[in-house]
Amino acid sequence: MKQEHHPKFPQTYNKGANSDTEIEFSGSETNGEYRDSRNARPVDISGNIGALVKIKGHELFHDLTNAGPNSLSNNYVCLIEYDINGKKVCCWDSPLASEYPAISIDGQIVAKSVNLTFSTEHPPQGDKNENCLGGEFFYTDHNSQPLIFNVKDLLDSISTQKYFTDFNINQYTVNLSAPLDIPVFEELVDLGS
């Protein structure tokens, strides 16, 4: 089985998480099953809670193949989309190594760099915060460190190279390995007796 966030033990899922009969989703195992899916969402169908339903395709909101010097080719895939304070924010990647990951906001490419860690091989998870100035979004894929971006800063920096050739990913990562609130032992000091 494909491992994402934790080992998937069959006994964790009561006789399988998949209750579908559609040919695309069937194939359950007798000792339990867990399914990763794309173009599907769990909804209640005829009382079967958790049954997967196919999403009927994509809607093209903006043509990014003609977005100026930072246009995206037809190879790019939208990995995740956020609606933040009325702005449509999308994270993009291409399976071709010569094409760099990108971020678009309302049809404008606001970031495109080899240093962005988006990947078509690792499905992302995301969250958003609309309560700060401009809004912000969080991106993680269980392969690289989580990222945080401010929408207002992305839009304000379009005319610069901040999110293009000058992009420094270390300024946008969430450091999970060394939280600031944990005391660290340095040395014993003899105060005399």
pLDDT tens, residue by residue, 164-188:
999 999 999 987 665 566 677 788 8
Q: Are residues 163 and 69 in the same domain?
A: yes
- pLDDT > 60? residue 6: no
Q: Are residues 77 and 113 in the same domain?
A: yes
What single DSSP character describes residue 122?
S
Distance CA 175, CA 168 (A): 15
Contact by Cβ (8 Å): 70, 115: no
Q: Are residues 34 and 128 in the same domain?
A: no
Q: Are residues 41 and 76 in the same domain?
A: no
Q: Are residues 90 and 15 in the same domain?
A: no
Q: How many domains does the chain have?
A: 2
- pLDDT > 60? residue 34: no
What the block records as the tokens of 84 is 């933040």
Q: Are residues 36 and 74 in the same domain?
A: no
Distance CA 116, CA 112 (A): 7
* Full residue range of the structural domain in which residue 120 is found: 64-171
For residue 1, is it within any domain? Answer: no
For residue 84, is it within any domain? Answer: yes
Give the pLDDT band of residue 29 (cuts 50, 70, 90): very low
Which residue from 86, 101, 100 is spatially nearest to 152, judged by alpha carbons? 86
pLDDT given at position 179:
57
pLDDT given at position 47:
56
- pLDDT > 60? residue 92: yes
What single DSSP character describes residue 6?
S
Place of tokens 């304070």: 85
* Residues in Cβ contact with 129 at an 8 Å cutoff, skipping those fewer than 6 apart: 135, 136, 137, 138
Q: Are residues 50 and 75 in the same domain?
A: no
Contact by Cβ (8 Å): 171, 162: no
pLDDT given at position 50:
58
